[in-house]
């Protein structure tokens, strides 16, 4: 190690670290202690109290300050003579362009989301700077090396698709608590507090209801003649009582399922809730609307308690009331946030009441929050191990020790007596459209789909472009930029609303479109195939992109996404479930069944085969997160404490 620390490659290296969170803090410390002398750090966040348990460069007094800057100061205290340059900024900002990236010898990622990772991958490819990429999820972690032309890029292999659920499971036939959470968060919470005009599957039921029993208006609207408690109870009775009764009428649905039980507020709560007569203004009297809490107001203290049905019903009404009383300005714009206490309380209560109705075990707020926020509790040790591995790979990259590059996976349980599983990197995937410029094919109804659908669903969501430019031959159909003339902007805005075949340069079957992101210096050709019909459930986008590894995932996932509740139900298994873990983790990542050589295991080890299945660990990220189901959550919690 000593020789490594003093290697001239290390001393002379200029390193860019992206992310100064859980992995980043460990990484900066390890870099400094390993002899690196010129380190740049980009992080867009400020320090939060919840970071302090593991992001050890930060202290209570730093809360609210830039992570990048505080991390720098903390490390300079024990390595005063090295140079650390912090940027409190989003790595996607246009300042961080290809030229910016070119100045570095290596880029090290300690990020927590797919979007930023893809962006950095593209910049590293364009700037031809090696990338060491990392991620952790609880006890699981991985460090991978990406060198243009030598190893696969970050996007050569498909990433696990966020687990999605069939809409009908969420709206009609939940069988697990997570289904109730998705319903509470993506349907009910959004309906009540988010954008009312959003398409939402609760609409179906509310209009059913308005035809039969209600007054032809939106059931979810607060009516002039009712007080907030009446409103809350009406919503309660509608979603937990009336809607269930309607659902029960469909005998077919319940032939092989347990029939749910309608729950009405009068069955579980007294006619008037005495405590709610308390002074609402007093409950709101705080500088920080985010600190308003139904639990506080009701005297419920322990977030690990599982509330009774009555308690859940009380929390439901109280949190709804507090939203309207204390946070009225935000209503209409809210989306669920795991750090929003009142939102978590509402979602926990609503999910529990629904669970009770469907005979599903109820959960504590702590557990519900974990599921709703896709939280896998971070393990500081995993971050430290991963940071160490990043530095080891960075040193190999700097010394151009290509034969020894490794992708390393941290396991939760020893496999072949090892907790760390190093594997040789793959070569670049020839069909990867990011690093091999391989064209894609898009099946789309060119007479029905608008350019806007193409931009949103394909260019942004699937291809991860920030500032796209779309060309058909020499005609520019769309472009984003700060310096566009007004008439161009008007032109592009008009194009967005046109169907593809009616664009100024008609896009039909057989057209080749070029899509480019100027900042990422990433270009992609898309061959358009016209197709009339799409299966609403299986192909909810109304278009199918193929030709790249991403597309194979789509086929695998025949469920329709509900809202943005992307979750995977990969679980942390107990010892006996080891095989399940391997299968589940690799699910969605190893679609071709390719095997990777595992060179580090010597013949004397217990393994009979020297091949292991590729493991990919999903990261703690909103897009691609692992979610624990209830058994595993409790199992895990025990281990963590
Ligand atoms: N686009 C981006 N530009 C710059 N920094 C980013 C970007 N996306 C994520 N990050 C940073 O990456 C870091 C990831 O760290 P980590 O996974 O520990 O998350 P965290 O936000 O600190 O903690 P948690 O989400 O678990 O509360 C964060 O500090 C975050 O600010
Ligand atoms: Zn690639």
Q: Give the tens place of pLDDT for each residue, 417-437.
A: 999 999 999 999 998 999 998
The bound ligand whose nearest atom lies closest to the alpha carbon of 433 is 2
Closest CA to 201 of 541, 560, 554: 560
368 Cβ inside 6 Å of ligand 1: no
Residue partners of 125: CB distance under 8 A and separation at least 6: 148, 153, 434, 435, 522
10 Cβ inside 6 Å of ligand 1: no
The bound ligand whose nearest atom lies closest to the alpha carbon of 436 is 2
For residue 182, what is the DSSP state? H
Alpha carbon distance 390, 130 (integer Å): 12
What is the token pair recorded at 306?
């599982």
DSSP 3-state assignment of 477?
Answer: strand
Atom of ligand 1 nearest to the CA of 54: 18
**Residue 214, pLDDT score:** 46
Cα-to-centroid distance, 532 and ligand 2 (Å)? 31
Helix axes 309-326, 341-357, angle to 10 degrees: 140
Least confident of 74-78, 145-149, 154-158, 182-186: 154-158
- Pocket probe for ligand 1: among 21, 140, 464, 640, the residue whose CB has the most ligand atoms within 8 Å is 21
22 Cβ inside 6 Å of ligand 1: yes
**Residue 465, pLDDT score:** 93
pLDDT 10s digits, 220-248: 888 988 999 999 999 999 999 999 999 89
Atom of ligand 1 nearest to the CA of 67: 29
Atom of ligand 1 nearest to the CA of 111: 12
| Mean local confidence (pLDDT), 164-172 | 80
Cα-to-centroid distance, 525 and ligand 2 (Å)? 15
Do the Cβ atoms of 482 and 476 come closer than 8 Å?
no
pLDDT at 149 over 50: yes
Closest CA to 31 of 45, 13, 44: 13
How far is CA 179 from each of CA 211, 244, 340, rounded to the nearest angstrom? 27, 15, 21
435 is a catalytic site residue = no
Percent of the chain clearing pLDDT 90 (strictly above):
64
43 Cβ inside 6 Å of ligand 1: yes
**Residue 494, pLDDT score:** 95
**Residue 546, pLDDT score:** 87
Cα-to-centroid distance, 433 and ligand 2 (Å)? 7
**Residue 386, pLDDT score:** 98
600 Cβ inside 6 Å of ligand 1: no
**Residue 563, pLDDT score:** 28
Residue partners of 609: CB distance under 8 A and separation at least 6: none
Q: How confident is the model at residue 626 (pLDDT cuts 50, 70, 90)?
A: very low
pLDDT at 610 over 50: no
Question: In this predicted complex, what is the ipTM?
Answer: 0.98
Q: What is the mean pLDDT of the chain?
A: 82
**Residue 64, pLDDT score:** 93
**How far, in whole angstroms, is CA 285 from its chain's centroid?**
34
What is the token pair recorded at 3?
């020789």
Atom of ligand 1 nearest to the CA of 91: 3
pLDDT 10s digits, 509-566: 999 999 999 999 999 999 999 999 998 878 888 999 987 654 333 333 333 323 222 2
Residue bearing the CA closest to ligand 1, atom 3: 90
**How far, in whole angstroms, is CA 98 from its chain's centroid?**
26
124, 153, 156, 168: the active-site residue: 168
Cα-to-centroid distance, 300 and ligand 1 (Å)? 32
620 Cβ inside 6 Å of ligand 1: yes
**Residue 377, pLDDT score:** 82
Do the Cβ atoms of 50 and 21 come closer than 8 Å?
no
Do the Cβ atoms of 201 and 170 come closer than 8 Å?
yes
370 Cβ inside 6 Å of ligand 1: no
603 versus 146: the higher-pLDDT residue is: 146
What Rg, from alpha-carbon coordinates, does the chain have? 26
Least confident of 52-61, 386-395, 400-409, 583-592: 583-592
**Residue 209, pLDDT score:** 44
pLDDT at 159 over 80: no
pLDDT at 607 over 90: no
Give the strand pairing for 512-517 and 543-546.
unpaired
| Mean local confidence (pLDDT), 617-633 | 31
Alpha carbon distance 472, 534 (integer Å): 24
Alpha carbon distance 36, 370 (integer Å): 37
Alpha carbon distance 150, 413 (integer Å): 31
pLDDT at 373 over 90: no
Give the strand pairing for 131-137 and 140-146.
antiparallel
| Mean local confidence (pLDDT), 441-447 | 96
Q: How confident is the model at residue 257 (pLDDT cuts 50, 70, 90)?
A: confident
Q: Which strand ranges, in their side-by-side order, compose the sheet holding 38-43?
A: 83-88, 38-43, 14-18, 106-109, 131-137, 140-146, 407-415, 418-423
**Residue 255, pLDDT score:** 84
pLDDT at 584 over 70: no
pLDDT at 451 over 80: yes
- Pocket probe for ligand 1: among 18, 19, 377, the residue whose CB has the most ligand atoms within 8 Å is 19
| Mean local confidence (pLDDT), 590-612 | 34
Atom of ligand 1 nearest to the CA of 119: 1
């Amino acid at each position: 190690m000593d020789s490594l620390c003093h290697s001239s490659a290390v001393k002379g290296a200029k390193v860019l670290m992206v992310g100064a969170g859980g992995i980043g803090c460990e990484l900066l410390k390890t870099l400094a202690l390993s002899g690196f002398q010129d380190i740049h750090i980009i992080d867009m966040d400020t320090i939060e109290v919840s970071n302090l348990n593991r992001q050890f460069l930060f202290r209570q007094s730093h809360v609210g300050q830039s992570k990048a800057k505080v991390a720098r100061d903390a490390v300079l205290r024990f390595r005063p003579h090295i140079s650390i340059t912090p940027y409190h900024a989003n790595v996607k900002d246009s300042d961080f362009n290809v030229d910016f990236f070119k100045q570095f010898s290596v880029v090290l990622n300690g990020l927590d989301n797919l979007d930023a990772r893809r962006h950095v991958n593209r910049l590293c490819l364009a700037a031809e700077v090696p990338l060491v990429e990392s991620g952790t999820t609880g006890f699981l972690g991985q460090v991978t090396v990406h060198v243009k032309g030598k190893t696969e890029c970050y996007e050569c292999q498909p990433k696990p698709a966020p687990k999605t659920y069939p809409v009908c499971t969420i709206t009609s036939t939940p069988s697990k608590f997570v289904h109730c959470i998705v319903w509470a968060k993506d349907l009910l919470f959004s309906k009540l507090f988010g954008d009312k005009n959003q398409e939402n599957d609760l609409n179906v039921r509310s209009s059913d209801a308005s035809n039969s029993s209600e007054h032809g208006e939106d059931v979810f609207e607060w009516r002039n003649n009712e007080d907030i408690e009446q409103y809350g109870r009406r919503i309660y009775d509608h979603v937990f009582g009336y809607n269930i009764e309607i659902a029960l009428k469909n005998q077919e649905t319940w032939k092989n399922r347990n029939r749910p039980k309608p729950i009405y507020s009068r069955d579980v709560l007294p006619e008037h809730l005495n405590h709610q007569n308390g002074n609402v203004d007093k409950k709101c009297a705080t500088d920080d609307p985010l600190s308003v809490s139904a639990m506080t107001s009701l005297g419920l203290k322990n977030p690990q308690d599982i509330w009774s049905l009555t308690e859940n019903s009380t929390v439901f009404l109280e949190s709804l009331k507090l939203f309207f009383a204390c946070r009225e300005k935000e209503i209409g714009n809210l989306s669920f946030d795991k750090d929003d206490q009142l939102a978590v309380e509402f979602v926990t209560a609503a999910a529990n009441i629904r669970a009770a109705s469907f005979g599903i075990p109820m959960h504590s707020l702590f557990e519900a929050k974990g599921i709703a926020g896709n939280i896998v509790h971070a393990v500081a040790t995993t971050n430290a191990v991963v940071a160490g591995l990043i530095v080891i790979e960075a040193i190999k990259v700097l010394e151009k020790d290509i034969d020894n590059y490794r992708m390393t996976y941290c396991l939760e349980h020893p496999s072949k007596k090892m907790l760390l599983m190093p594997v040789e990197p793959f070569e670049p995937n020839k069909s990867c459209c990011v690093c091999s410029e391989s064209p894609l094919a898009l099946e789309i109804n060119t007479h029905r789909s608008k350019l806007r659908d193409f931009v949103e669903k394909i260019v942004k969501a699937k291809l991860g472009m920030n500032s796209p430019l779309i060309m058909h031959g020499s005609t520019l159909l769309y472009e984003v930029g700060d310096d566009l003339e007004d008439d161009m902007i008007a032109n592009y805005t008009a194009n967005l609303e046109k169907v593809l075949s009616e664009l100024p340069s008609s896009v039909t079957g057989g057209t080749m479109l070029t899509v480019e992101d100027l900042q990422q210096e990433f270009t992609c050709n898309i061959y358009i195939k016209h197709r009339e019909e799409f299966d609403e459930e299986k192909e909810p986008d109304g278009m199918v992109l193929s030709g790249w590894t991403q597309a194979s995932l789509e086929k695998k996932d025949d469920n329709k996404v509900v809202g943005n509740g992307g979750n995977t139900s990969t679980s942390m298994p107990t010892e006996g479930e080891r095989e399940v873990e391997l299968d589940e983790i690799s699910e969605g990542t190893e679609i071709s069944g390719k095997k990777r050589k595992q060179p580090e295991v010597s013949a004397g080890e217990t393994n009979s085969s020297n091949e292991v299945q590729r493991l990919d660990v999903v990261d703690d990220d909103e897009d691609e997160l692992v979610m624990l189901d209830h058994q595993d959550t409790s199992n895990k919690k025990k281990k963590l404490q």
